[in-house]
Structure 1
């Protein structure tokens, strides 16, 4: 299918001031009228007055964040309360032992800042640490349960740094709801119960998981049964009074180091690694899409991939088609495959590898890549050759699911869009002080080099941050006012999930709730996975006729949460695949 001419600006600057001040904004693409029941697409009209909001994957977490906002807390204050509660009630997805990326919008300055709390490899990490004695990659189930799987956690120090800059309430006052819930107990949700009952993930049978969720009468806890976590309550008390040092020094730090050194394939983390961790404050990557400016975290996150996907789609006529037309989904699938080929080959930690961000987002490069979208899906596309790209090895990163996303808006109009993770389900399956340790080291490529000897961009190195698919977005209008925020869980499928939500809400005129509920389609390499049964038969047949046969996916699935501004009003949605909630309250 022929791609139309580019409507993007003539350049994509990487400096924040240039990105937010000089991006040309294209006119809306021609499109067929939306169904009468659907709202108009998102416009540049921002909300007339700030509104308190929290959208999170669990009602207890959303309510904890809203309670902080009602006490006069900032968006960052509320995000800390949300994360503390998620670590307790959704431990399969994120926690204090993991990492996160926060994209933050400051209403007063209209600036966007990214807070990088990605885990780092311990100083003792080596490129071959996930290879066996014969030089072959270890089985994932073996690696994920080992002490080597855990990277130095970053979420807590990142939140502390964001709070230092943007907090309104004292740090000590942000953990009370989570501490009380841990002490008094909460009811196991149906979704958590399903993960405990399935046994399909290696971590589900880890000793710490079995011990924590054990029922007095035998077996594991079931939905509706009460779970208490006094160890976590005690940790939160110390975290509230001691600050981040409650995790990065002292008794908790010693227990983390001891736990990762246990068993075969012991980790190398030391107290020095924990003490040395520093979050990174980064400038976002921003690029125009339709009437909006989309801002995303730079490498080692995958915002550059999400922006490339949108850039490719804007060079097609995807906006003409609705969610019931296979032509739109076909364009989405083919653009996704091109993006993933590039993302997988080139993105890594920019402190260790040169990531060709400018080349990947250059209009001429996007024009060339978009012209590869034909009438039918062919073989898996090869990575392109953007300007500034060095030769890179074939990536062997596995990256399963186990993540959460939430958005928060405060009375001053500031917004947090944050994706947070322990990587796989229950992280490494190892628990310390009531929270699970991450397995982010398995987000590196197990094979550091390919058959031709080229080093993978995402190879392991001491102190390096593994590549992440997390892409918490902030959307702005032409005046750089807040226009929306969205992100998702889902491992390497996050980019497809978030891209689908943007297309649904912006191009196809759906409400945010409708956009998030659209069937998931992840097109990567030779595979087309997703929620095959949720597509209408006509859409499935139309895709198959174009060479795209959607097969059922696997794993934790999406965890999309977001808001968008339409005609001065906030439109929020949560992923129906989870147990989320849109919590709203007037700012006054």
Structure 2
């Protein structure tokens, strides 16, 4: 198969020359002036120094500049991903008549190469898929699982949680990867192109090479832990121990071999045999070894779940249920915000930031106690999004004063028995949205957890460190068990929030983002931007970020929001200015056709016809 060679060659040249900032499809509408940013955000090298220490644990993947992007329009199909080469791979599948699932798989495999810090076959994914033919919405759970030998005190030492680096960059942090089983399951039900065809773009790029982007170079340069892993260092650094420079053509023949095996034999080639053996061996022989076993790999199963839905004004918002807390939290935020006239506030006004942040406090307060793997914990989903409950939560918000740290609610009289979670939940992830010519819609969030995951590199790909999404401490100071504690075979809680929105019974929008625990705020803001403020999807994605994770009120540094810091402090908000390197992707389907947007904080593009 020839992979759109002319388009690919053009993309490669633009990628090399422009650091992924110039390939954005058909430009339609520039972001309005209200989305303006500070001077350091516009690709100014002085604005891209190493992130401050205060951002280390909240945003370890870091920012890499800001490139204004324009709305992309199409009539028949569209895909948006975090990298032009991945978007090209998905676009090629759609052009050939493939489904949205086909496009997402091809894109994900390319992301493993060109955005290795964020996702790959060594990690997991959540996917929400709307099938036009039978008017059905399906959620696919490819979340990693804990080994069957895992114990609840996994990340404790002498009665205290392990330090950040010791927990994250270790064999103990590696869960059984789930993404391949999940996409194989979805392809079996909704794929239109042959499975092997979906691997060809990534195989070609792995064998022929791709130019290292500015973002990838910066992420490698920032990761001291990556340089300490011999196998990873041999791939990501030159003979002198320096990160490959921007534009260097990087090849990955080992990964191409892995892809050929999986293309020919299915996901079994990954979960059994030599690949599985080498994954297990790498984890168990690490300096801080884990307990992953071949039986854990062989026994992994992706799950098909019922999507979680709730109403917001005239829309129906649907997405991934637990073990993700993301869509549940977003539905809580929206239910709270529905009590206020959000459409009457400017998107970056003091009132909008105040109410949005207070709603976030309340939602994050609940997620820290209630949400975990539903196979192990009875998550009170219906009670947490019940309109009466959310109206009562909204009544806690004062128009003129921040509540500070919000208390959790108790809709099912269980709070007294629950401990508070202290998972790290680090934001290195990617998002894909796609709409195919048949009208099927996909929203998929995919991850290896922190930047470059566990840093353990096997056969050309990185392994996740997803088990640090469990609470590090299995119980709180009062001795109450945490719902999201480590248990054998359990899936760690996530905030990933792939969303599909319906209007008048038809799919209207697909959106999602990376960002660790900040994902709820990123996606909720984009949803409010489109549904309340009537922005196009690119404008909504480009909004300066703000919100609260029930700590400080967080404002995106280098944006016009900095001017709100003092007025917010006067209202009792503790304000923190920080980088918010989201990676939102979104597509809107309306009477004008398809319109797509990609986050200006990353390399992504939307492509469509």
What SS is found at the alignment partner of 1:552? strand
Deviation of 1:506 (Å): 1.3
Alignment partner of 2:420 out of 358, 372, 394: 394
| Pair 1:439-2:465 in alignment | yes
Q: Residue in 2 aligned with 1:17?
A: none
Deviation of 1:565 (Å): 2.8
How far apart in 2 are the matches of 1:81 and 1:577? 23
| Pair 1:113-2:138 in alignment | yes
| Pair 1:349-2:383 in alignment | no
What SS is found at the alignment partner of 1:486? strand
| CA spacing shift, 1:324–1:528, aligned 2, 3 Å | closer
1:188–1:227 CA contact under 8 A, matched in 2: yes
Q: Residue in 2 aligned with 1:90?
A: 115
1:467-546 superposed matches below 5 A? 467-478=493-504, 480-536=505-561, 538-546=563-571
What SS is found at the alignment partner of 2:127? strand
Deviation of 1:36 (Å): 10
How far apart in 2 are the matches of 1:207 and 1:304? 40
How far apart in 2 are the matches of 1:577 and 1:550? 22
1:327–1:543 CA contact under 8 A, matched in 2: no
1:32-111 superposed matches below 5 A? 51-111=76-136
| Pair 1:189-2:213 in alignment | yes
How far apart in 1 are the matches of 2:441 and 2:159? 47
What SS is found at the alignment partner of 1:124? coil
1:326–1:540 CA contact under 8 A, matched in 2: no
Alignment partner of 1:253 out of 273, 276, 280: 276
What SS is found at the alignment partner of 2:348? coil
1:532–1:540 CA contact under 8 A, matched in 2: no
Alignment partner of 1:372 out of 367, 392, 396: 396
How far apart in 1 are the matches of 2:344 and 2:230? 53
1:122–1:151 CA contact under 8 A, matched in 2: yes
Q: Residue in 2 aligned with 1:206?
A: 229
User: Please, what TM-score do these two structures have when normalized by structure 1?
Assistant: 0.89
| Pair 1:309-2:345 in alignment | no
Bigger shift: 411-420 or 392-401?
392-401
Q: Residue in 1 aligned with 2:342?
A: 318
How far apart in 2 are the matches of 1:490 and 1:526? 16
Cα offsets for 1:339-358 (capped at 9, x unmatched): 00001111000110111111
2:233–2:241 CA contact under 8 A, matched in 1: no
Deviation of 1:392 (Å): 1.1
Deviation of 1:318 (Å): 1.7
What SS is found at the alignment partner of 2:161? coil
Segments ≥4 residues shifted beyond 4 Å: 35-38
2:404–2:573 CA contact under 8 A, matched in 1: no
Deviation of 1:116 (Å): 0.3
5+ residue gaps, structure 2:
1-30, 35-72
1:92–1:426 CA contact under 8 A, matched in 2: yes
Q: How many pairs are equivalent?
A: 538
How far apart in 2 are the matches of 1:258 and 1:66? 37
Alignment partner of 1:413 out of 425, 439, 442: 439
1:204–1:426 CA contact under 8 A, matched in 2: no
Deviation of 1:216 (Å): 4.1
5+ residue gaps, structure 1:
1-34, 39-47
Alignment partner of 1:285 out of 308, 319, 337: 308
Deviation of 1:527 (Å): 1.5
Bigger shift: 422-431 or 541-550?
541-550
How far apart in 2 are the matches of 1:287 and 1:487? 16
Deviation of 1:145 (Å): 1.4
2:211–2:247 CA contact under 8 A, matched in 1: yes
User: Please, what TM-score do these two structures have when normalized by structure 2?
Assistant: 0.86
2:562–2:577 CA contact under 8 A, matched in 1: no
Q: Residue in 2 aligned with 1:45?
A: none
How far apart in 2 are the matches of 1:488 and 1:160? 22
How far apart in 1 are the matches of 2:531 and 2:543? 13
How far apart in 2 are the matches of 1:519 and 1:471? 19
Q: Residue in 2 aligned with 1:145?
A: 169
Alignment partner of 1:238 out of 236, 256, 261: 261
Q: Residue in 2 aligned with 1:166?
A: 190
How far apart in 2 are the matches of 1:557 and 1:429? 21
How far apart in 1 are the matches of 2:412 and 2:112? 42
| Pair 1:464-2:487 in alignment | no
2:429–2:447 CA contact under 8 A, matched in 1: yes
1:107–1:482 CA contact under 8 A, matched in 2: no
How far apart in 2 are the matches of 1:290 and 1:238? 48
How far apart in 2 are the matches of 1:128 and 1:382? 27
1:107–1:481 CA contact under 8 A, matched in 2: no
Deviation of 1:472 (Å): 0.2
2:171–2:288 CA contact under 8 A, matched in 1: yes
Q: Residue in 1 aligned with 2:248?
A: 225
How far apart in 2 are the matches of 1:167 and 1:36? 39
How far apart in 2 are the matches of 1:536 and 1:492? 21
